[in-house]
């Protein structure tokens, strides 16, 4: 991670959605604090994973970075250029370098357009004419994402879910982006197809040096795909670190609880990590708890947690770049043991 | 009413479910056999279109009778369900067997209070009064861990969070203490921390009441957490079955290997690419000949004479363990050993 010259530099990023109500004149009666003061960087060619449960603000973050939403506060810098409130015209060149892959491969492709038209769309909009013509480029892209270039004239309904997601990937690649925001790119797919798409994205990241902001709720997939991972809870980053540190030495109680809740496909009688069952539900982002937002579900919460929001800092015992927002971070002793595959003698 | 070891509580024999559609006959389930004892959990794993949900709708008699051709046998506590009349099934549903669906919001009526929806089933089967039903609903909500059940009983579904709705569904399914509970992807739409809560709840309730549970999921991790026995389905057929330990530790079918290889884990190696299954699931309108997995199977060429594409592999079950594959036992052991070696470092 290089803080000196990151590709994307986000500081204090905030998005509050106003809630209108009242009679007879609607006025603002509150705000959903979807994202509240995020700081993170993405280096070139790096993949940053954003994990968290529904409503934690991870998708909003993705939409803020791509400027599909207007931030309420904070700043977003892309290659040193402030794009927080840039207008359409200023954004145009940046937009071609930041692309997005959406979750639902059924809703994100226009059913009336052929695959060729869908994938060449970004080139048309930006008036890009690659050598050899757009059609040739589209055929190349289809080949890159593992589809048959002959399918240029087919419509989305002729493809399966996994193939459609590949079309979405090809469209995102059309402008040779430097950064791709992938919002739950595989969660709508079957397990065996998920792995195909994850491998494809990983090849692209390696071969084309594209940086990713990889948004997902599946901790195992994020670990597999991202070199650095940020855990979000109720609009805030509670912990951020490279994956070895985050998964090997989670310091925030929420990170730990989240990991302990992931069921693993092993038949061991003793679970690999202590199971922490969180009580209750995530509080409403309309009226988040004071101080630390996790305190209402945290087994360690004290008076201090209610009054003082813990800063996201390198708490003692953390490696460089491992930041945790907690007054009482967890200790290091329980590192999940590497589980090797079962001995093959047990087979048959 | 009690079942013995000789006669399992639920027994499905050679079940075939075919739908006629405009495009032709869909062979959604094609010869499925399994047993389930009381107090046990059977996990059914498979991808979309593998026939896992259809199987269970058929057990409950919730299929479209006019368009469905069914063959085989489903015995619940010795009673044949496929020939039972709609009235008999109505008496059983909600009472002796019940179901939890994936999407709790779509399965609850938005116009009625939670309490009324839970109480309705109870009144229908026990003839209890409105007041008794309400008491029962409160008790059920308390049991599934809804705070302030005497207040929340009058709430409407939209006032509940996702996890609470799923709890309310469970309360509704369990209100008559059913002996068989079918849970169709009950946690798929939930966050992991809530999923963990719901699975704990199901386990507790099973211990308390000795309910037999069929748990349908696509997630092998969930299976590892909750199931006793596992059935792996592909293209409408069972490709592998056994206890949880047998299937997860020493899977014998290439499809099961593929499923395990497709899933990253929280503490496995990170720089090894996943090993996905090539291709995509088959169309059940026109399923592949022979073994339905053979077009995607990397081991099909290891079997002589192209048997994989010409001959249906039989599921030979001994002591509840078996896999439907033409590979010999020795071949499978060697291939799995290779597979395990690539996954461990």
Q: Domain holding B207: CATH number?
A: 3.40.50.300
B124 found inside a domain: no
Q: How many domains does the structure of chain B reveal? A: 2
**Chain-centre distance for alpha carbon A181:** 7
Gap between the Cα atoms of B88 and B85, Å rounded: 5
Q: Would you say B226 and B201 are in contact if contact means Cβ atoms under 8 Å apart?
A: no
- Within chain B, which residues score under 50 in pLDDT? 1-4, 345
pLDDT at B306: 85
Residues B180, B208 share a domain: yes
Specify the residue for token string 């809530």: B194
Closest in B191, B197, B224 to A267, CB measured:
B224
Asked if the C-beta of B27 comes within 8 angstroms of chain A's C-beta atoms, the answer is no
Question: Which residues 198-227 of chain A have a CB within 8 Å of chain B?
Answer: 198-199, 202, 217, 219-221, 223-224
CA distances from A107 to A72, A103, A123, A159, B102 (A): 28, 9, 21, 13, 21
CA distance B31 to chain A (A): 23
Helices (H), B45-191: 52-60, 86-92, 104-107, 114-126, 130-143, 149-152, 162-174
B95 found inside a domain: yes
Contact B250 A162 (CB under 8 A): no
Residues B193, B339 share a domain: no
B55 found inside a domain: yes
Contact A341 B164 (CB under 8 A): no
Gap between the Cα atoms of A49 and A215, Å rounded: 6
Q: Would you say B153 and B115 are in contact if contact means Cβ atoms under 8 Å apart?
A: yes
Q: A260: which chain B residues are within 8 Å (Cβ-Cβ)?
A: 196
* Phi and psi, residue B301, nearest 5°: -75, -15
Mutation site, B222, B248, B249, interface A, largest A CB count within 10 A: B249
Residues B269, B225 share a domain: no
Identify the domain containing residue B329 by its residue range.
251-344
Gap between the Cα atoms of A234 and A55, Å rounded: 7
Gap between the Cα atoms of B101 and B184, Å rounded: 5
B51 found inside a domain: yes
B118 found inside a domain: no
Question: Which residues 285-304 of chain B have a CB within 8 Å of chain A?
Answer: none
Residues B227, B256 share a domain: no
Residues B187, B92 share a domain: yes
B25 found inside a domain: yes
Residues B189, B334 share a domain: no
Contact A163 B280 (CB under 8 A): yes
pLDDT at B53: 87
Question: Which residues 1-30 of chain A have a CB within 8 Å of chain B?
Answer: none
Q: Please say which residue of B207, B233, B259 terminates a domain.
A: B233
Structure confidence by residue, pLDDT tens digits, B312-325: 998 888 888 999 99
Nearest CA in chain A to B338: A344
Residues B263, B226 share a domain: no
B131 found inside a domain: no
pLDDT at B264: 87
Contact B222 A261 (CB under 8 A): no
Closest in B244, B250, B259 to A191, CB measured:
B259
Q: Name the residue among B108, B198, B123 with its Cα closest to residue B157.
A: B108
Asked if the C-beta of A263 comes within 8 angstroms of chain B's C-beta atoms, the answer is yes
Per-residue tens of pLDDT for chain A, all 348 residues: 445 689 999 999 999 998 888 788 888 888 889 999 999 999 999 999 999 988 889 999 999 999 999 999 999 999 999 999 998 888 988 988 999 999 888 889 999 999 999 999 999 988 888 888 999 999 999 999 999 999 999 999 989 888 999 999 999 999 999 999 999 999 888 888 899 999 999 999 999 999 999 999 889 999 999 999 999 999 999 999 999 999 988 999 999 999 888 888 776 666 656 778 887 778 888 889 999 999 999 988 899 999 999 999 998 888 888 999 999 998 865 444 333 333 333 333
Question: Which residues 95-154 of chain A have a CB within 8 Å of chain B?
Answer: none
Q: Name the residue among A264, A206, A2 with its Cα closest to residue B271.
A: A206
CA distances from B149 to A284, B115, B152 (A): 20, 9, 5
Closest in A190, A277, A338 to B267, CB measured:
A338
Asked if the C-beta of A281 comes within 8 angstroms of chain B's C-beta atoms, the answer is yes
pLDDT at A269: 61
Write down the ipTM of this complex. Answer: 0.82
Contacts of A305 (CB under 8 A, 6+ apart): A291, A292, A295, A298, A327, A328
Residues B260, B226 share a domain: no
Residues B292, B175 share a domain: no
Residues B265, B224 share a domain: no
Chains A–B, number of C-beta pairs less than 8 Å apart = 155
Residues B63, B211 share a domain: yes
CA distance B164 to chain A (A): 9
Nearest CA in chain B to A340: B344
Gap between the Cα atoms of B152 and B116, Å rounded: 11
Q: A190: which chain B residues are within 8 Å (Cβ-Cβ)?
A: 47-48, 218, 281
B90 found inside a domain: yes
Mutation site, B266, B329, B339, interface A, largest A CB count within 10 A: B266
Residues B266, B213 share a domain: no
pLDDT at A339: 32
Count of Cβ atoms closer than 10 Å to residue A100 Cβ: 22
Q: Give B189's DSSP letter.
A: T
Contact A267 B249 (CB under 8 A): yes
């Amino acid at each position: 991670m290089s803080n000196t010259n990151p590709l994307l530099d986000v500081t204090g990023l905030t998005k509050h959605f106003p809630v209108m109500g009242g009679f007879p004149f609607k006025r603002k009666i509150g705000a959903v604090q979807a994202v509240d003061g995020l700081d993170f960087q993405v280096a070139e060619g790096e993949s940053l994973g954003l994990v968290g449960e529904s409503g934690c603000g991870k998708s909003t973050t993705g939409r803020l970075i791509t400027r599909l939403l207007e931030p309420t506060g904070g700043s977003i810098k892309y290659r040193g250029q402030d794009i927080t409130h840039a207008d359409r015209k200023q954004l145009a060149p940046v937009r071609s370098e930041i692309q997005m892959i959406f979750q639902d491969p059924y809703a994100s492709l226009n059913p009336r357009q052929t695959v060729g038209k869908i994938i060449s769309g970004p080139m048309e909009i930006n008036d890009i004419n690659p050598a050899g013509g757009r059609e040739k480029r589209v055929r190349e892209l289809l080949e890159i994402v593992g589809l048959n270039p002959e399918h240029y004239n087919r419509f989305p309904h002729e493809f399966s879910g996994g193939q459609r997601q590949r079309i979405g990937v090809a469209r995102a690649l059309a402008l040779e982006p430097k950064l791709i925001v992938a919002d739950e790119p595989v969660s709508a797919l079957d397990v065996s197809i998920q792995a195909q798409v994850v491998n494809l994205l990983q090849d692209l990241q390696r071969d084309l040096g594209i940086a990713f902001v990889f948004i997902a709720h599946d901790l195992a997939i994020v670990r597999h795909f991202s070199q650095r991972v940020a855990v979000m809870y109720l609009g805030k980053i509670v912990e951020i670190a490279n994956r070895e540190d985050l998964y090997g030495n989670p310091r925030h109680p929420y990170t730990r609880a989240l990991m302990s809740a992931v069921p693993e496909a092993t038949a061991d009688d003793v679970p690999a990590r202590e199971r922490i069952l969180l009580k209750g539900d995530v509080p409403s982002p309309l009226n988040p708890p004071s101080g630390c937002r996790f305190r209402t579900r945290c087994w360690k919460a004290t008076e201090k947690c209610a009054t003082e929001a813990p800063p996201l800092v390198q708490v003692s015992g953390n490696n460089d770049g491992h930041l945790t927002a907690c007054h009482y971070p967890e200790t290091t002793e329980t590192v999940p043991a590497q589980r090797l595959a079962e001995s093959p003698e047990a087979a048959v | 009413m009690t079942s013995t070891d000789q006669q399992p509580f639920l027994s499905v024999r050679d079940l075939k479910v075919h739908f006629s559609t405009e495009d032709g006959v869909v062979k959604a389930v094609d010869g499925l056999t399994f047993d389930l004892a009381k107090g046990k959990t059977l996990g059914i794993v498979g991808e979309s279109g593998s026939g896992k949900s259809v199987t269970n709708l058929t057990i409950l008699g919730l299929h479209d009778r006019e368009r469905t051709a069914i063959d085989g046998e489903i015995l619940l506590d010795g009673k044949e369900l496929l020939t039972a009349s709609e009235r008999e099934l109505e008496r059983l549903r909600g009472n002796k067997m019940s179901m939890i669906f994936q999407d709790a919001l779509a399965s609850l009526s938005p116009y009625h209070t939670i309490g009324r929806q839970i109480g309705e089933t109870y009144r229908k089967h026990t003839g209890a009064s409105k007041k008794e039903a309400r008491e029962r609903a409160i008790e059920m909500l308390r049991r599934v861990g809804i705070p302030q059940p005497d207040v929340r009983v009058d709430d409407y579904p939209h006032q509940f969070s996702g996890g609470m709705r799923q709890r309310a569904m469970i309360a509704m399914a369990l209100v008559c203490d059913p002996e068989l509970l079918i849970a169709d992807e009950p946690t798929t739409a939930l966050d992991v921390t809530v999923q963990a809560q719901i699975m704990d709840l199901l386990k507790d309730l099973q211990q308390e009441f000795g309910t037999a549970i069929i748990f349908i999921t696509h997630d092998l991790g969930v299976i590892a957490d909750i199931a006793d026995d596992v059935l792996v389905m592909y293209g409408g057929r069972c490709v592998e079955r056994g206890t949880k330990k047998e299937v997860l530790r020493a899977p014998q079918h290439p499809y099961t290997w593929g499923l395990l290889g497709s899933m990253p884990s929280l503490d496995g190696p990170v720089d090894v690419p996943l090993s996905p299954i090539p291709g995509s699931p088959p169309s059940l309108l026109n399923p592949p000949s022979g073994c339905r997995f053979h077009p995607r199977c990397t081991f099909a060429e290891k079997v002589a004479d192209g048997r994989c594409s010409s001959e249906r592999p039989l599921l030979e079950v001994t002591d509840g363990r078996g896999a439907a594959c033409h590979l010999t036992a020795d071949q499978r052991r060697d291939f799995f050993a290779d597979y395990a070696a690539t996954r461990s470092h």
